[in-house]
Every structure is written in C-alpha cells, then in structure tokens.
Structure 1
C-alpha cells in the first residue's frame, strides 16, 4: 500500500488513494509492443475526432448499437462474467458468439483478457496487480497497457486460463486476433464508408475502451464500499450506468463469482438483465449468486444514525 510520505508519492484527487508510481511513462525503454499499442490506441483517438464531420443519425444508431454489442454482450456479459468468472453457462454456440462480440471490442482475445483479469482478482491492489491505482490513476486506467515489460512480468503465465486454452475456438481467436480487428474495420468501410469506420469503429472503440478502463481506475478510487474486501474496490454509480453494471465494483470484488453486480434495486445492472433474459429463454443456467448469509458476513457494519 502506498504511503503519503514515500518518495514520488501522489494523491488521486477527491479520493483516499495515495500513489507511488513504479514505472515512468517516459524516460524508459519502449519495446515494439508498447509502440504498436500506442500507435493503434492513439490512431483510433485521432480518427474519433472526425465524428463531427461525418455525423448522421444513422451513424449515431450504429454507434449505440455497436456500443451495446461490444460493450455489454462482448465485454461485460461474455469476457467478464461468463469467461473470466464462470458466473453462468450457456450453450457453446452462444458462448462463442458472445465471445466474438468481445473480440470486436478490440481489448484483446478472450484468453488474454480473462487471464489478465483473473490475475487482477488474485492480486488486487498489491504490487502484482496489473493495474492498481496505487501506481497512479493513469497507470490503472491505461498506462499498464503501454508498458508491456512491466505488465508481462505480472500476467505472462496464461496457465490460469487453461479452461479456455483447451478449447480450439479460443486458441483460434488468439492466433488470428489481428485479422478479426482488420476485418471489422474493412466491413464497416464497405458497409458505410468512412463515417461507419469513424462512428462504428474508432469512436465506439475509444468509448468502450475508456468505460472498461474506468472500472479499473475510477471504481478503485471514487465511490463507497458496502463490503469489506480488503482492497480499494468501490461502488461507483456513473461507471455502473456506463459500463452496464460493472461499476458496482465493491459488490463484485466481494463476490467475484456472482452473475449479478447490482445487488440493490437502484443499482442499475443491464448485464444482469441480459443474464435473466437468457435464463427465461432457456439459454443460461448454473447462474451463481451470493446468499444472504454470505453478504451479511462481509457487510460493513455502520453505526446507526444518531449513535455516539
């Protein structure tokens, strides 16, 4: 845990998180992966700036549709709750379709994503966590993606995802991942020209990237805790809305196996709604939820109003 009096320590504004960066963004050796990621991520950000010049209501619809498909169905429903945490099961054909939606989010192949995320839960907010805000808000948000050497020291052993490695489909997506990214952009161009590439490609990618990254950064800095998890995870309402329920992050860290993150009626969790819909359609089973006894065991006991 970072201490305020350590050399180089900083403070995340409006939070109780003190930071001690362990790696400099600049003034270090950049390997080929760092340069590639920076060029691609930076390029998509620049291309997204063309959105005002390619605007149409059809493109707005494309943006929101692809935001839902890649962000909700792909990242939160598939990559996170199904593949990383096995919180529910579906028929294989549906599991594979949902995982491909995640590929279209351009956040890595399913095996890589699930493995890195499992390391995050194994080492949350410790020096082995790939993206703890103790190393700086920017590091937890996206800096860890731009420092391949430091990140691979923590997540390079993919044996924690042998359940995915054993399936031909996930090996195929890992080995051909770049082609799927390129094909997506090509299809968008053929379907709608440059405007579709901007709105359904670059702008949507950048939007979903930052929302996913805010779960790692903002939801470990700002919000509140209902459960004693021993880490920085917070319930953050605005991340909860934008990330389809992922912002109820303290709930998630308390019960990482749970298919539901928003435990209260007002904790909006669209991804849980999708799980419920699949269950009603007979397409989801083995849905895992914490019991009331489990929640009571970890619940933070707060003094009653008016207590001394």
Structure 2
C-alpha cells in the first residue's frame, strides 16, 4: 500500500466499497464515528481528535457572556471582521501556504512563532497539514478526507473523522509523516512517543501553547476594549472554527462541476474561485489547486490576496527570506492561452458573419 494511502486513520465505514467507489456514510454513521474518535476513555490516542472540539466548547461561554452582557452592534461587527477576515487570512497564511505547502520561508524562528500565534488557536497544525496533503493527492477520490461528493456533513465532521494519522504506522512511515511538520516549529513526538499518544505533535506542547495563546490574546483584547471586546472576538473565533469546515464542500462546488470560463482554469478537480473566500482571505481555491506551492493565489487583476500581502510585506522587512510566486506561470501558461483561444474564436465568428453577408 502506498504511503499516502495509509497515513490517515481510516474511518469505520471505510473510504471505498468493494467496487472501489466512494463510501457515502449516513449522518448517523458520521456522528457515530465522530464520538468514537474523540473518546479518550476508549483510547487515549484519541486526544488529538478531541482537542479542537474541546477548544470549541471552551469558546462557548465567551459567546454567551458577549450576547447576554456586552452585546452591541459595534462589538458584533468586530467579531465578524475578526472571524471572516483576520482569522480566515491567518488560516491561509499559516496552515495552508506555510505549514502545508512550504510556499515561503521565515528568516528567523521568531517570525514563524509570531505568525503562528497572530490569532487565537482553534486546532493543532497536525490536524490540518497531514490531511491536506492527502487531499491534494487524492482530490475527490476515495480517501480524500473532505471529499465534496460525500456531502457537506462529510466535510464538516472531517476534522475528527478523517484527519488523524493512522495509529499503526511503521517507524519508517512515521518518520515520513513527521516531515510534513518538521519546518513548522511544532514539537514532534519520537516514534516511541507516537506509539503511546498516536500523534505527531506532543500533547504537552499542543496544550501548553493553546493555554499561553489564549491567555495572551484575552489579555490583549481586554486592554484594547475590555471584557466585551475579548468575549466578542473569542466568539468570532468560534464562528470561524465552524465556518471553515464548510469551505471544503463549497470550495469544491458542493460536489458539482461549477467552473466558470475565464475564472476557473484548473478543470482536473471541482475547486472553484469564490469571491468571498478570495477577497476575505486570499483563498482563490481553483488557482491554489493549479499552483499549490505558490505564496500568492490571486492571479487575475481583481483577485485581491490579503494572505499574499502579509507574506510580501514580511519579505520586504526581512522576516520572510524566500517565497514562490506562480503568477507569472499562470499568466503565461493559462491566461495567455485562454485569451488567444478567445481571440481566435471571436475572429472566426466575425469571419462567419462576413461570409454570410
């Protein structure tokens, strides 16, 4: 079995049936799998699946305190801005372009640490990075951890159902898996520790960083605007935590081909360039699938890319030492050929009109 096929822990309902076709589990099966995966009394190695849900539960009190004690439309607007733009852009910068695709490098670990903790932590890097590598290799095939063909809840619950690494990797394959996170600064378990904890990331590091991150940001938000602002922004982080899980469904056309000519150039998968994720976080998803290793995904003139703006700014001040920008390749290999084809088609239509006269 290929390494990429066995790196993730297969769900009880399986990736594919006997005919090799995608298994689309029922809602009951999905929730049954989810609660099984977060059960640390059954297996303490489930801790990494549980931790992000624990984070979500811990954010709920802040939401209620905000709604019943500090609610104002100004604070609501701040929460929406924090969730939809700041959290989303950070997710693109840190989890997507740096941790997963290594699209840029930091000149010093201190800049990496600052970028890692620019916002509230809501899930460990491991739960995003490893599964996202599998997604790119097996996009919309059985084994894709957030396969849009299987429905929205398949994607919404994928963080616990499909993102954990296998608990039975050989030492050789475990070492391969650690390479996905070796550049990120995450404290990595030895193989013996992996056998005990079932994860690449150290539990002590993951939980310790979470507590330090939340303590810092609650204090910072409090100094900026009191308990009301702090509770509002923690609530905004929870909103992003839920919203981002739907993106892998909507970002792949809800499981249908919804490409638009002149906008979505990669037709090898269902990914589409959506305006809201594009403008709010630089997540021009079809462009990203076309050039996954690029630090920039906004290729067309109107495609604002806030994540790229941050990376480029850090490069200008010396915090980012190198990056990959695939825009020139896109302009040459995709856009120029498309425009030439459109010009030829227009000329042919005009010639037909002349001939018909």
TM-score norm. by structure 1 comes to 0.73
1:30 match: 36
Distance across 1 between alignment mates of 2:306 and 2:186: 26
* Aligned-partner SS, 1:286: strand
Q: Is 1:86 the equivalent of 2:102?
A: yes
Residue 174 of structure 1, CA deviation: 3.2
Contact in 2 for aligned 1:123/1:129 (Cα 8 Å): yes
Contact in 1 for aligned 2:152/2:246 (Cα 8 Å): no
Distance across 2 between alignment mates of 1:62 and 1:137: 25
Q: Superposed, which structure 2 residues align to 1:85-124 within 5 Å?
A: 85-92=101-108, 93-101=110-118, 104-108=120-124, 110-124=125-139
Distance across 2 between alignment mates of 1:297 and 1:186: 50
Residue 147 of structure 1, CA deviation: 2.1
Match of 1:55 among 64, 71, 80: 71
Match of 2:237 among 205, 229, 233: 205
Q: 1:42 to 1:241 in 2, by over 3 A?
A: farther
1:179 match: 208
Contact in 1 for aligned 2:121/2:214 (Cα 8 Å): no
Q: Superposed, which structure 2 residues align to 1:131-142 within 5 Å?
A: 131-140=146-155, 142=156
Residue 296 of structure 1, CA deviation: 5.2
Q: 1:84 to 1:97 in 2, by over 3 A?
A: same
Q: Superposed, which structure 2 residues align to 1:229-240 within 5 Å?
A: 229-240=267-278
Distance across 2 between alignment mates of 1:295 and 1:285: 28
Distance across 2 between alignment mates of 1:154 and 1:119: 16
Contact in 2 for aligned 1:85/1:256 (Cα 8 Å): yes
Contact in 1 for aligned 2:266/2:290 (Cα 8 Å): yes
Q: Superposed, which structure 2 residues align to 1:144-163 within 5 Å?
A: 144-147=158-161, 152=165, 159-162=176-179
2:253 match: 221
1:245 match: 282
* Aligned-partner SS, 1:217: helix
Task: Deviation per CA, 1:46-71: give whole Å up to 9, x if none.
Answer: 75354332225468547745876544
Residue 214 of structure 1, CA deviation: 3.7
Residue 283 of structure 1, CA deviation: 3.0
Aligned length: 281
Distance across 2 between alignment mates of 1:221 and 1:46: 34
Structure 1, unpaired ranges of 5+: 1-18
Match of 1:283 among 295, 319, 326: 319
1:165 match: 182
Contact in 1 for aligned 2:259/2:267 (Cα 8 Å): no
Q: Aligned Cα RMSD in Å?
A: 3.8
Residue 186 of structure 1, CA deviation: 4.1
Q: 1:27 to 1:215 in 2, by over 3 A?
A: closer
Distance across 1 between alignment mates of 2:56 and 2:320: 35
Distance across 2 between alignment mates of 1:259 and 1:155: 34
TM-score norm. by structure 2 comes to 0.64
1:127 match: 142
Q: 1:84 to 1:46 in 2, by over 3 A?
A: same
Distance across 2 between alignment mates of 1:304 and 1:155: 56
Task: Deviation per CA, 1:137-189: give whole Å up to 9, x if none.
Answer: 1212x2112326x854599766245163377x321693211222233444555
Q: 1:95 to 1:298 in 2, by over 3 A?
A: farther
1:41 match: 56
Q: 1:49 to 1:155 in 2, by over 3 A?
A: farther
Structure 2, unpaired ranges of 5+: 1-21, 40-45, 189-199, 353-357
